[in-house]
Amino acid sequence: MDYTYITLKLVTGFAGLWLTTRILGKKEISQLTPFDFISSLLLSELVGNTIYDKEIHFSHLLYAIAFWGLLSYALEILTFRVKRLRKPLDGSPDIIIEDGRINLKQMHHNKMDFEQLQMLLRQKDIFSIREVAYAVLETNGNLSVLKKSFYDGVTRSDLNLPEQETHIAYSLIEDGEINKEELAKIGKTKEWLLQELSSLGYSAPSSIPYAEWKQGEGLYVIKPVD
């Protein structure tokens, strides 16, 4: 009887979860909002905790899934029809890079550091922040990027130009602090960096949110958004 009871609960849970997913609509994992993700975890936890509990009848499990699905569906309809509720319930995109400048307030608000930002950019095949005009952190955690016009457009093969050697960018300053390890990688010293900053009109690295160096292009400093 125990195996039969567990089987009935599993079938009920499987059918209930499948039906709830079909009603709420299809979404890829990358499209899930924080609420969608938490809702999925709680729903799976609800089913898992009731499978082996003899005191909970499978009809109770079915009711719990149906009621949870109803609440989720009601919230979807509410945010769809009442626009002013979308931002507080679903959140809103945040501009991390605006017109080539870093928005430190938005980075700190989203608990994002420069290593995480660079990782998200590399996933977009961008290995230097200097190439970015705008970067928007979406509500699902993805980063949408608009390149600067200089770095976007035709390729060298389109113009029948010879291939050039490719170099990676090294981040020398992050949040006003000098990255000594990256300086050592390019064979430069702190004194050299301070001199380069001085020639660009910066008195100290503490006022600079981010700076990188790339062979052939030199030092590039990003100003914060006012």
Q: Where are the domains of the chain?
A: 2-88, 94-151, 170-222
CA 64 distance to own-chain centroid: 32
Determine what percent of the chain is predicted with pLDDT higher than 90.
Answer: 31
pLDDT in tens, 186-213: 999 999 999 999 999 888 898 899 999 9
CB of 205 closer than 8 Å to CB of 158: no
Q: Please check whether residue 120 is in contact with residue 104, taking contact to mean a CB–CB distance below 8 angstroms.
A: no
Strand, coil or helix: what is 63? helix
pTM, rounded to two decimals:
0.61
Report which listed range, 58-67, 70-79, 148-157, 206-215, is most confident.
Answer: 206-215
Pick the CATH number of 94-151 from 3.10.450.50, 3.30.240.20, 3.40.640.10, 3.40.1000.10: 3.30.240.20
Tell the CATH topology of 170-222: CRO Repressor (3.30.240)
